[in-house]
Structure 1
Amino acid sequence: MSFDHFAKVSDTPLWRAEMALPAIPAAHVEPREDVVVVGSGYSGLNTALHLARGGRKVVIIDAGDVGHGCSTRNGGQVSSQIHRELDELAKEYGEDGAMRILGTGLESHQYFRQFVREEAIACDYAVCGHFIGAHRKDRLRGLKAFGELQQKIGTQAEMVPQERVGEFIDSSHYHGGVHLPDWASVHPGKLVAELVRLVLAEGVRIVPACRATEIEDQGDHITLNANGKAVRAEHVVMGTDGYTDGASKWMERRIVSLASVVMATRPMPKSEVSALYPRASMVYDSRMNVSYHRPTPSGDRVMMGTVVPVDPDNLAACYPRAHSNLLRIFPQLEDISIDHVWSGWVGATFSHLPHVGLHGRIGYAIGYNGTGVAMSAYLGRALARKMLGQPGGETGLDQVPFNSKPFFHGQTWYRRPVLAWHDLVDRLPSRGTTIG
């Protein structure tokens, strides 16, 4: 009988299993509210925190549990990455505008690091470095260009030849890569719990299992339904990212939801995990359908996320491919069972950039394209300052229009053909200086 790696698997994210939320006082949504924040993840919590400290009365609602979305389903990567190239952005916004956009990545990480320190946030923040490995030798050219761009922005980056890959990971899969020594990691669930602690201390109410629908800007106020209850508010904040639905038709047309599947092994001896990751680094490959992995903060598990087709109603269907991606990197884990498998939806945008601002009375910090841990903190503060009329709310992203595409209304049919196309590209020779 073959070994069943998933015999005792749980679909609860490891981060949620390990987090301890503060006691959340019972609360409800009033018929009249000052600010209603939709979404209790990083974006909503960060924005609510700064709005409350600025004197606004805030209630956070979420269709699920607190932090149910990607805030407790991500890999815990903390980077300064922006998913666009300088030359491409310069054609649209000029050299200075492009550098301001790319610089928001570095600014967001610098802000997040200071925020964690000043607020004494116990989220296992660690400057572990990130290693991006070339899954094909011809991807090294793209990684070199990526590293040079990071250096131009002000981020440390060094090329790693194939003979040095073992300094970062015990795998023969990579042909070299680039190392970002200043990039970091967190425990996503602990970060959510700490943000909840902060907002509760400022008097913010949190109402889980409360779905927002029919959000409409009436000009001098906002109307919405909260679990079918009519609510009138001065402002609504959309902090829904990849979990954006039709509650706001305007927002639904601007967010594309992309999925990844994440798995965590059973506990292993810490010496075995540290042998796999000598520097405890975050590791990625250079695929468009990327795989990302790390040792967990406890040091006794391997966690890997991978972009594969996902059926939310049949998560087990993606187990074989996700597990094969793990064994592609670490064949030595063939006999290690998997304790947790979960999926999460990432909010992408047509600009491939995050967005922050106000559309009438709807505020938004959204569309992180997979790099939201630090950026959501930075843009949450920026959005709050914009809404409060305070200085310091300006960002390099303010120049980027938040556009949709004709005939797009949040459809999901495109996911499988897009992933299939990316699979093909990942097998082909490099197209130039891009990573994928």
Structure 2
Amino acid sequence: MDAFQGHSDTPLWRAEMALPQVPASTVEPREDVLVVGSGFTGLYTALHLARGGRQVVVCDAGEIGWGCSTRNGGQVSSEMKPDLDDFIAKYGEDRARAILSTGIEAHRHLRRFVAEEGIACNYSVCGHFIGAHRPDRMEGLRHFLRQNARLGVEGEEIPKARVSDFVASPQFHGGVHLPDWASLHPGRLVAELVRLCLAAGVRFAPKTRVSQIEDQGDHITCLAGIRTVRAAHLVMATDGYTDGASKWMRRRVVSLASVVTATEAMDPAAVRALYPRASMVYDTRMNVTYHRPSPDGDRVVIGTVVPVKVDDVAACLPRVRRNILRLFPQLEGVKIAHVWTGFVGATFSHLPHVGLHGRMGYAIGYNGTGVAMSSYLGMKLAQKMLGKGGETALDGLELETRPFFHGQTWYRRPVLAWHDLKDNMASRGATIG
């Protein structure tokens, strides 16, 4: 484990971000809109609400952007998890297409927003490559391509002989390429959103945990730190970090974890040799490994889904190391400079949700595809709260729960063990996991 000697547990994105100076602020006993969570969703929603005339304070139990918004891989796609045919059977063709096309509109919205606002976050249309970790996973990838083509998403099948055009890894038996999908620097995006929010008059209260949220009908009460607050409206923007602050929301969001590593600074030519097109890369495992060159082109960033305890990350590092070397034997002598964990929010429908529950607004449950979707749903939620429409194809979908589920996390280890088993079994039909 010498490769991890002296590593930092600060995410690379946070180490490289430069937040503007944020004036110290406190939460007042009466507030107009209180936003819980200072990641992408909270910042987008706060920005659009403030520009619409509302007085907004953003609270976070940690530092600004402390959660998954500075802990993800920076992948930008139009992907939504459910299968189109299954959705057509459930909702009919028009509704199903509209729901799954939300991902396409979300990516377009983020692309416009970055350009129009002059966001310096290394947004790049680099393309995404998904590689088959077993030969029998290619049929699932072909099905994935066909589904995306029906939604208007361009893609191509890549035979094994061409895999090296995208990634210099021995593990893939072919794959698919989505040329319009993109990447960015999550930390720099957070910093730019904070800059825009401050200019719009948003206040920030980091290290202020919100708890005991109760809807009183004509207002919401909660605790912000130890202060009792009465707010006209509240926004839940916590995704994978949703806790028991709202019992209603905690029953509807499942928290999933992964571990992300970044190498020490390398010769950019060596990084380019691994990623000739600077593409984002995934495999077809259910316990997926996702990776990329860093935006500055001098590191390799690798995320992998493994059993992890946030208070004992060292215990999972041997498996993380095996995954890294399975992917790139070329990294045998390269040290890992950063190791961090992150949690994404999943839902029982495998879809993100946006809407109003009484006086509480929410945009939540991105199922691992939140970089683009959070920009779109944060804007739409603000429009809903401002009374300016904000309709989406997701409206009316039930934010489901399950009997006896109250946010427990014991399921993580047995589920990941089951996924490990399936990842090593022959594929049954059109599956990529």
Same fold per superposition (TM over 0.5): yes
How far the C-alpha of 1:378 sits from its partner, in A, is: 0.1
How far the C-alpha of 1:195 sits from its partner, in A, is: 0.3
What is residue 428 of structure 1 aligned with on the other side?
Answer: 425
Aligned: 1:193 with 2:226: no
Helix, strand or coil: the match of 1:5?
A: helix
The match for 1:416 among 407, 410, 413 is 413
Larger deviation, residues 318-327 vs 59-68: 318-327
What CA distance in whole angstroms lies between the structure 2 residues aligned with 1:305 and 1:95? 35
Aligned: 1:381 with 2:382: no
What CA distance in whole angstroms lies between the structure 1 residues aligned with 2:310 and 2:171? 30
What CA distance in whole angstroms lies between the structure 1 residues aligned with 2:351 and 2:231? 29
Q: 5 Å matches for 1:318-333?
A: 318-333=316-331
What is residue 343 of structure 2 aligned with on the other side?
Answer: 345
What CA distance in whole angstroms lies between the structure 2 residues aligned with 1:4 and 1:411? 35
Q: Match of 1:27, as an amino acid?
A: S
Q: Match of 1:261, as an amino acid?
A: V
What is residue 397 of structure 2 aligned with on the other side?
Answer: 400
The match for 1:307 among 305, 308, 333 is 305
Q: Match of 1:41, as an amino acid?
A: G
What CA distance in whole angstroms lies between the structure 2 residues aligned with 1:302 and 1:339? 10
What is residue 51 of structure 1 aligned with on the other side?
Answer: 49
Helix, strand or coil: the match of 2:3?
A: coil
Q: Residues 152-189 of structure 1: CA distance to partner in whole angstroms, max 9, x if unpaired?
A: 11111100000010100111210000000000000000
How far the C-alpha of 1:51 sits from its partner, in A, is: 0.5
Helix, strand or coil: the match of 1:216?
A: strand
Q: Match of 1:227, as an amino acid?
A: G
How far the C-alpha of 1:228 sits from its partner, in A, is: 1.6
What is residue 72 of structure 1 aligned with on the other side?
Answer: 70
How far the C-alpha of 1:151 sits from its partner, in A, is: 1.3
Q: Give runs of ≥4 in structure 1 deviating > 6 Å.
A: none
How far the C-alpha of 1:372 sits from its partner, in A, is: 0.4
Q: 5 Å matches for 1:1-400?
A: 4-391=2-389, 393-400=390-397
Q: Match of 1:165, as an amino acid?
A: V
What CA distance in whole angstroms lies between the structure 1 residues aligned with 2:7 and 2:254? 29
Give % identity: 67
What CA distance in whole angstroms lies between the structure 2 residues aligned with 1:63 and 1:45? 15
Helix, strand or coil: the match of 1:364?
A: strand
Larger deviation, residues 190-199 vs 393-402: 393-402
Q: Match of 1:407, as an amino acid?
A: F
Structure 1: where are the runs of 5+ without partners? none
What CA distance in whole angstroms lies between the structure 2 residues aligned with 1:285 and 1:363? 35
Q: What is the aligned length?
A: 433
What CA distance in whole angstroms lies between the structure 2 residues aligned with 1:42 and 1:418? 28
Q: Match of 1:408, as an amino acid?
A: F
Helix, strand or coil: the match of 2:399?
A: coil
How far the C-alpha of 1:91 sits from its partner, in A, is: 2.2
Helix, strand or coil: the match of 1:374?
A: helix
What CA distance in whole angstroms lies between the structure 1 residues aligned with 2:96 and 2:137? 24
Q: Residues 385-422 of structure 1: CA distance to partner in whole angstroms, max 9, x if unpaired?
A: 0111103x111111321111010000000000000000
Q: Match of 2:396, as an amino acid?
A: Q
TM-score with structure 1 setting the length: 0.99
Q: Match of 2:25, as an amino acid?
A: A
What CA distance in whole angstroms lies between the structure 1 residues aligned with 2:318 and 2:291? 17
Structure 2: where are the runs of 5+ without partners? none
How far the C-alpha of 1:90 sits from its partner, in A, is: 1.6
Q: Residues 316-370 of structure 1: CA distance to partner in whole angstroms, max 9, x if unpaired?
A: 1111111111110101111101000000000000000000000000100000000
What CA distance in whole angstroms lies between the structure 2 residues aligned with 1:7 and 1:77? 28
What CA distance in whole angstroms lies between the structure 2 residues aligned with 1:106 and 1:57? 31
